[in-house]
Structure 1
Amino acid sequence: MAVPAADVAAAVPVEEPAGKRRQAFRFLATGKAITGLVIIGVLVVLSVIGEWIAPYDPSARSSDLLEGPSGRHWLGTTHLGQDILSQLLVGTRSVMVVGLVSGLVATILAVVIGVTSGYLSGLGGEGLSAVSNVFLVIPALPLIVIIASIVPEVSTLGIALIIGCTSWAWGARVLRAQTLSLRRRDYVEAARATGESTWRIIGVEILPNLTAVIASSFVGTVIFAVLSEITLAFIGVSGGAEWNWGTILFWAQSQQALDQGAWWWFVPAGLAIAILGTSLSLVNFGIDEFVNPRLRTGGRMRAGFTPVVRGGDR
């Protein structure tokens, strides 16, 4: 449990700014966080330069029909002779933009509405909670399909905003429940008794204790957004960019690539989706280990290990 800032200042000497920076980024020392961030960084770079390094135009047809991986086409071709590697590289930008923008928008809304409704009492808190309940019962994916079908010329950024604005309710409910359990803690009561403002109490005393929950909400929303965009493309409601990983899977399924033994048509896109989800989960695990001392293998507290003293060791 966190302690009041006044008690910490009285009991512990002031730490140097460099030490604070080291402590703030200590979670990067875990192999999980580094691996996840490296993978995400590579995907972000590919989303920026994918169109430049793609060996072919992803929509260009050729006479190399449904060929497997070779020197000319590293990931094979489609039934029209289109290069699958080029489609995968060009489609990375749409997936990353939708995933990260949606995750950022949904997380901001979840933090603002969830934490505020959990800390405030009375009509304000109940009103925000009611808004969360309304969005919670709305089926997100069908709503996204309807909006994307109605809105003409919807862009990739537009799809990201639609997904982000319709997928924040679960995170808000979790954050509200955690805030309700934190707002009566001793250090929060002490900050309130000293006359601290409401927003400073929320920002300084409560939000730092919700870091792991916020990170989990962001990761979950990004994964949901990526899967939602891929689902939209898979059912033919792609919008925005012409190519993304879901579009590749759509054409592979519609042309029965599995029945034809063309595994190279759908396996790369599926692996790319799995790698993105794994990297986000690894970052989340690294943050959990940083926030929760019981998950740190190098600390004195270990979850799941009970010291046992043998009779011969006494």
Structure 2
Amino acid sequence: MVVMTSLVESSAEQQPDAAGRGRRDNPWLNPMLLSGLGVLALLFVTKWIAPLFVAKKEALIGAAANNMVPAWADPSVTHGFVANTGGHPLGTDGQGRDMLASMLIGIPQTLEVGLLGAGIGVAVGIVLGFTAGFFGGWIDAVIGTVTDVGIAIPGLAVLVVIASYVTDLGVVGLSLIMALFAWPIPTRVLRGQVLSMRERGYVALARLSGASSPSIMFREILPNMLPYIAATFAQTVSGVILAVTGLEALGLAPSRYPTLGSTISDALQGSAIFRGMWWWWGPPVIALLGIFLALLGVTLGLDRVANPRLRGKA
């Protein structure tokens, strides 16, 4: 009886430790992944938080006086600036747009373009990559050739040509243009993973049980590739945001409301760096740096999910 009591007590004492180890051993709860997702979520929710602090019309041209300094700055130190009249903590740019409003509206718009463009590109990559890797043969040869051509095409040059003929681009239109060149890399990466996984034992068992090819691809292989797909998606989001920021910095992706890239473009056109207008170009650059670091954290965190050898590392 005493032995039984001591066993129960010892097992009760060990249960919290086991639960704690279970939480620590869960690869999806690694700090890199959680911190990256947390930063992205915090930046994205500014879409709903922004109206609580700024009016959307303040991000339009002519909303306030041009070249207004931030609330704590002295306008007398540099020629051409005007004093802050209140209500514009970060001042205004050379076209009278409130910088705080531009940031709070531009950050979620930039993320939306990246997420939507990458989502479409990765979705196409999943279909083509899985089809090429699973079936092989002439199907793999055709899809592989088309993918190689897509990778070889200078995407930014083509995007510049396309964007130069479009006078106004919304989030959806810009995302669709970005998706045109976002699918080849995911297709190549996922094809290679499917080639290795199609020889696994559970795939052979599924074939013996009479499962159809689509069922094997999307019910057997796909769940085991979620970490790879998620990491590919995070990397593609970075590429799309970088490409669209480059287009906007060149002034080739016009939009009524600002994004981070268009804000940087206006700063370049207004010689903000040479005029000392750090509040014009500094905040969007810092926001882009935060986005890229968050996406890097997500990618590294997903690498630890997919690769057991990395899970024990800090």
Alignment-derived partner of residue 286 in structure 2: 271
5+ long unaligned stretches in structure 1 = 1-18, 304-314
TM-score between both structures, scaled by the size of structure 1: 0.79
5+ long unaligned stretches in structure 2 = 1-18, 73-85
Conserved in 2, the CA contact under 8 Å of 1:69 and 1:264? no
Query: Helix, strand or coil: the match of 2:162?
Result: helix
Cα drift, residue 128 of structure 1? 1.9
Which amino acid is the alignment partner of residue 235 of structure 1?
L
Q: Percent of pairs identical after alignment?
A: 31
Conserved in 2, the CA contact under 8 Å of 1:76 and 1:84? yes
CA distance in 2, matches of 1:128, 1:63: 55
CA distance in 2, matches of 1:154, 1:258: 27
- Structure 1 residues 85 and 152: alpha-carbon distance in aligned structure 2, compared to 1, 3 A threshold: closer
Alignment-derived partner of residue 300 in structure 2: 285
- Structure 1 residues 139 and 51: alpha-carbon distance in aligned structure 2, compared to 1, 3 A threshold: farther
Note the aligned Cα RMSD (angstroms): 2.6
- Structure 1 residues 32 and 214: alpha-carbon distance in aligned structure 2, compared to 1, 3 A threshold: same
Conserved in 1, the CA contact under 8 Å of 2:119 and 2:233? yes
Cα drift, residue 267 of structure 1? 1.1
Cα drift, residue 176 of structure 1? 1.1
Alignment-derived partner of residue 57 in structure 1: 58
Alignment-derived partner of residue 197 in structure 1: 212
| 2:129 corresponds to 1:114 | yes
Cα drift, residue 183 of structure 1? 1.8
Which amino acid is the alignment partner of residue 30 of structure 2?
T
1:79-158 residue pairs with structure 2 within 5 A?
A: 79-158=94-173
CA distance in 1, matches of 2:128, 2:179: 14
Cα drift, residue 77 of structure 1? 2.6
Conserved in 1, the CA contact under 8 Å of 2:64 and 2:92? no
Query: Helix, strand or coil: the match of 1:266?
Result: helix
Range 34-43 or range 180-189, more displaced: 180-189
Conserved in 1, the CA contact under 8 Å of 2:106 and 2:258? yes
Alignment-derived partner of residue 67 in structure 1: 69
TM-score between both structures, scaled by the size of structure 2: 0.79
Aligned length: 278
- Structure 1 residues 200 and 63: alpha-carbon distance in aligned structure 2, compared to 1, 3 A threshold: closer
Conserved in 2, the CA contact under 8 Å of 1:50 and 1:92? no
Query: Helix, strand or coil: the match of 2:244?
Result: helix
CA distance in 2, matches of 1:180, 1:35: 32
Query: Helix, strand or coil: the match of 2:225?
Result: helix
| 2:190 corresponds to 1:175 | yes
Which residue of 210, 213, 223 corresponds with 2:228? Answer: 213
| Larger Rg, first or second structure (1 or 2) | 2
Which amino acid is the alignment partner of residue 31 of structure 1?
P
